[in-house]
A and B are shown apart, each in its own frame.
Chain A
Amino acid sequence: MARFVLEFEKPFLELVRKIEEMKKLQEKNNLDLSSEISLLEKKLTELQKKTYSGLTRWQRVRVARHPDRPYTLDYVRMIVTDFIEIHGDRNYADDKAIVTGFGTIGGHKFVLIGQQKGRDTKENIKRNFGMPHPEGYRKALRAMKLGERFGLPVVSFIDTPGAFPGVGAEERGQAEAIARNLFEMARLGTPIIIVIIGEGASGGALGIGIGDVVLMFENAWYTVISPEGCAAILWRDKAKAPEAAEALKLSARDLLELGMIDRIIPEPPGGAHWNPEKMAETLKKEIIKEIERFKGYEPEKLIERRLQRYRDMGVYREVKNARPKTS
């Protein structure tokens, strides 16, 4: 089971231990304890559901960052067939914090782009903790353009603590790379399906996040800045990240209420890492549904719809003739 345990997961582990003990006992003594076991399993599920329905926003951020949470390539392994990864931006390098390639899901061929974190230190160094450089965004754009040219829908998995803030990233135009992607994705002539599977930190997430439909995992977060970054600036103290997370309204439910996403994808009891296979199955169904939904759209229609979607985003009020000035 989980090698890393969040404080609110501890009661779950107690039950898991009991269930395992009973299973051992059953095997050893050739007893039928199935009804007791299923009772305990039910209890576990109920406890998880109850706990998770009451999680604070900051606790959800911690679930989204859980080191056992499935990442892009885990889902690829579980639900995508014939996956062929493609590499490099044809300009500078191959950024391993973003994975791109061709795959098939439920008989539909598509282009996949997704941010990829590492499971251990070694892999995290390779993946740069899921923090892309400009070449990552440019590679993603290259893959998306291939999708457009060859009539394949694009599915984008967002899971990043942010675009990498470093010297090389600035030298190679991190801001321009993200801006360019927003501009190009706005008019990409093929469906774009966005799924926020974990962390959606700011421009680093949005850089592969413009689409025709935006789905979000129940325990994912997505907002303008990381809670730590916000706390450091507005509270002048990184330790106030939990307060910042609350203030930022960064949960899936918040974003649905604000009309910024289309749908929440429910996670298994305890979160995606408690049952990755089940999570993957749910995700697969959602992706297939969206690919099929957008299949018949003419590119022009799709683009018009996409432009209107973003045109309408924003909350302000308008009054007449408020202090006009001339010069």
Chain B
Amino acid sequence: MPWYDNIRIGGLNKNAKKKDIPDGLWLKCPGCGEIVYRKELEKNLFVCSKCGHHLKITSWDYISILCDDGSFQELDTGILPEDPLGFCDSKPYPVRLRNAQEKSGLNEAVVCGIGEIDKFPVSLAVMDFRFIGGSMGSVVGEKVTRSIERAIERRISLVIVSASGGARMQEGILSLMQMAKTACALTKLKEAGLPYISVLTNPTTAGVMASYASLGDIVIAEPKALLGFAGPRVIQQTIGEELPEGFQSSEFFLEHGFVDIIVPRNKLKKTISTLLGYLYSG
């Protein structure tokens, strides 16, 4: 695990837990290795001004970037994980969950609710990589499904911001079935004639990429995010040779026709609202 995964990066939101924020005034950019002033980085939405690297930020950071001030209302906060398999590897799954909850201040790997993006009402679901790698188990599947259903009930647009290593191993087959569940729900959104914008952030892979993240009417990616079905290490082991430069990046996916637009973080809100202006008729 890279060093920057162990510390809080971001912190745009006042609700974020204080202890996650590193003490130092300076941060090392994972992209170029330059030492950058923290305040500067924060002002720049945690995009390195030297190299343009988009640092990982939290779900609540994305919410404050995307939603009009005070418009977001979190919903489905009471849906909590169980341990249906009694899973245990180096530590029991419930312990892993508790650690993730303490570390992130979140109940699970996705934050859902309703809000406004430049006055466009949206049902918003934002994944959080800090919570067991943003992995999708039963709770993520249920909350994403309810977000889809909420868009249909209220006749508003759906925006999902993904950041995930894929389906959560600790819930086994139940996690796999969340791919089916969310894809099924999205067919109802399509029937209802409502738009779905999928935003892919670093990283979005495996089970999440192979379900709702790929199914947006419009698929937006942040620059240089790691995207893909299989992880690069697995592919390298399978083919036994070095992977091409830029393989599985946002740019690679754009080039091959699986992403519509690459949008830097500071243009994300404006791009989404402009798109909704075309796709959403109220």
Asked if A and B bind, the verdict is yes
Pairwise interchain contact B80-A203, C-beta atoms closer than 8 A: no
Pairwise interchain contact A182-B180, C-beta atoms closer than 8 A: yes
Residue of B nearest to A211 (CB): B180
Closest CB of chain B to A135's CB: distance in Å?
Answer: 14
- Residue A35, interface by CB 8 Å: no
Pairwise interchain contact B244-A179, C-beta atoms closer than 8 A: no
- Residue A299, interface by CB 8 Å: no
Pairwise interchain contact A174-B230, C-beta atoms closer than 8 A: yes
A residues 270-327 near B (Cβ < 8 Å) are: 306-307, 310-311, 313-327
- Of B3-11, B48-56, B210-218, B260-268, which binds chain A? B210-218
CA distance A172 to B258 in the complex (A): 9
Closest CB of chain A to B228's CB: distance in Å?
Answer: 5
B residues 241-271 near A (Cβ < 8 Å) are: 243-244, 247-248, 252, 256-258
Interface residues on B, range: 35 or more
Pairwise interchain contact B107-A323, C-beta atoms closer than 8 A: yes
Pairwise interchain contact A327-B180, C-beta atoms closer than 8 A: no
Residues of chain A contacted by B187 (CB below 8 angstroms): 183, 186-187, 307
Pairwise interchain contact A313-B174, C-beta atoms closer than 8 A: yes
- 8 Å CB contact of A165 from B70, B168, B183, B230: B230
B residues 36-74 near A (Cβ < 8 Å) are: 60, 63-64, 67, 70, 72-74
- Residue B122, interface by CB 8 Å: no
- Residue A15, interface by CB 8 Å: no
Q: How many contacts A-B (CB < 8 Å)? A: 225
Pairwise interchain contact A224-B230, C-beta atoms closer than 8 A: no
- Of B22-30, B81-89, B152-160, B274-282, which binds chain A? B81-89
Beyond A175-B209, A247-B85, whether A314 also contacts B174 by CB under 8 A is yes
- Residue B179, interface by CB 8 Å: yes
CA distance A219 to B83 in the complex (A): 25
- 8 Å CB contact of A314 from B70, B141, B234: B141
CA distance A250 to B169 in the complex (A): 11
Beyond A173-B258, A327-B64, whether A179 also contacts B177 by CB under 8 A is no
CA distance A178 to B182 in the complex (A): 13
Beyond A316-B138, A321-B78, whether A179 also contacts B212 by CB under 8 A is yes
- 8 Å CB contact of B60 from A178, A322, A327: A327
Closest CB of chain B to A169's CB: distance in Å?
Answer: 7
CA distance A230 to B167 in the complex (A): 12
Beyond A179-B211, A325-B74, A327-B67, whether A172 also contacts B256 by CB under 8 A is yes
Residue of A nearest to B233 (CB): A232
Beyond A173-B257, A229-B234, whether A178 also contacts B90 by CB under 8 A is no
Q: Name A residues whose Cβ lies closer than 8 Å to a Cβ of B.
A: 163-167, 169-176, 178-180, 182-183, 186-187, 202-203, 206-207, 209-210, 222-225, 229-230, 233-235, 243-244, 247-250, 254-255, 258, 260, 306-307, 310-311, 313-327
**29 pairs, A vs B, C-beta closer than 8 Å:** A164-B238, A165-B229, A165-B230, A165-B231, A166-B239, A167-B244, A170-B230, A170-B235, A170-B252, A179-B212, A180-B214, A183-B186, A187-B187, A206-B177, A207-B210, A210-B183, A224-B167, A224-B168, A233-B169, A247-B89, A248-B169, A260-B174, A313-B181, A322-B77, A326-B70, A326-B73, A327-B70, A327-B72, A327-B115
